[in-house]
Amino acid sequence: MIGYACPACARRFPVELDRWRCDCGAPLDLAFEPKGVSPAELARRPRSLARYREVLPLPEGVEPVDLGAGLVPVVEEAIGDIPVRLVLEYVSPTGSFKDRGAALVAALAAFLGAGEIVEDSSGNAGIALAAHSARAGLRARIYAPEDAAPAKLRLASEFGAEIVLVKGGREAAARAAASHATTRRAFYASHAWSPFFLHGTKSFAYGLAETVGWSLPGAVILPAGYGTLALGAHLGFAELVRLGLARRHPALVLVQPLRCAPLWRAFERGEAIAAPVPEAPTAADGARVPRPIRSAQLLSAVRETGGLVAAIEEEEIASALRALWRKGYAVEPTAALGAALVRREGASLRARYGSLAVVLTGSGLKG
């Protein structure tokens, strides 16, 4: 039976509509042990997320909501003279890896009998959840900071979501969403809080392993705001090793915009938890998260895997984005963070880790 488990105080809870964090305030994990799955069997399956059904923590008989999330292309590229594999997560049904998590939480919300799904987002998570809610026949309500990108909110609204603009930035939007969900018995499907979301994004690790022939790169370089892709990747890579499907867990290299880099600051200082930073505007709006609530898990995942956290200046984001566009990659600024790091430190990353995979997280076709 799948249940919630608190990593901070070890309490356990059943999976219920109005439970989204522990009574002690910590974000919850899942008590869930995946069944094994074989590469030969996977190769015969359809490309959707349901191909990983044995390792997805959904109740018996419940399938992920299917808009086509699952496998994405991986292409060989060079950044400067550094060979990399680019993982094109932006080639997802709604243009970001958030589809992986949304497919799971929307399925769970429908199973739990929610009439409405609530989320706070400045963009991609809201779009992914709005689309998957529409597909599942659920109402969606997205709380967004009032300076969120209008084109992204418009798209979420075209999927039928109700958009609520909140003064006071990203944090205020999160508080408003949580308080609405608590009082209305809606399902708070927060990509930051829900461990189901992370078990959806973990399919990134399975997809990458399958696509590159089960021989994983030395490091995976990816943007981090709340770190939902990084934590999902960590869950997935650890499972792959445990299930005997991969030999090594790649080092996790997280990249943040210098203007909002709480994880980088804590990593540099050797701290176990990231203290909040002031909320400053950055072109990498998808990574503008001043208080990543799972920072302890993120920092320990980085350290356990021999990875690192880096911070990137606005000018470096802009020039890395331009360089990606000039090669035909239709990404948004947040997705250029990893490429910007390779442009700056590619030689030392390659010397330290060997092969590098750089994740292009979000599409630039939404603005």
Nearer CB in complex with Zn ion: 6/74: 6
Nearer CB in complex with Zn ion: 124/297: 297
Nearer CB in complex with Zn ion: 26/91: 26
Determine contact, residues 220/228, Cβ cutoff 8 Å: no
Q: Rule CB under 5 A: is residue 2 a binding residue for Zn ion?
A: no
Shortest Å distance, C-beta 22 to Zn ion: 3
Question: Which region, judged by CB under 5 A, interacts with Zn ion, from 3-11, 59-67, 179-187, 231-239?
Answer: 3-11
Return the closest-CA partner of residue 87 out of 185, 198, 223. 223
Shortest Å distance, C-beta 193 to Zn ion: 13
Determine contact, residues 341/352, Cβ cutoff 8 Å: no
Dist. CA 266–CA 264, nearest whole Å: 6
10: its two tokens: 């070890």
Determine contact, residues 56/101, Cβ cutoff 8 Å: no
Question: Which region, judged by CB under 5 A, interacts with Zn ion, from 18-26, 156-164, 190-198, 356-364?
Answer: 18-26
In angstroms, the Cα distances linking 139 to 92, 119, 129, 131 are 22, 11, 10, 10
Question: Which region, judged by CB under 5 A, interacts with Zn ion, from 6-14, 29-37, 194-202, 308-316?
Answer: 6-14
Residue selected from 5, 17, 26, 330 as contacting Zn ion according to rule CB under 5 A: 26
C-alpha atoms less than 13 angstroms from C-alpha of 268 in its C-beta half-sphere:
11
Dist. CA 105–CA 17, nearest whole Å: 11
Residue selected from 12, 16, 24, 115 as contacting Zn ion according to rule CB under 5 A: 24
Dist. CA 38–CA 280, nearest whole Å: 46
Residue selected from 22, 134, 142, 283 as contacting Zn ion according to rule CB under 5 A: 22
| Total interface residues for Zn ion by CB under 5 A | 7
Interface ranges with Zn ion (CB under 5 A) = 6, 8-9, 11, 22, 24, 26
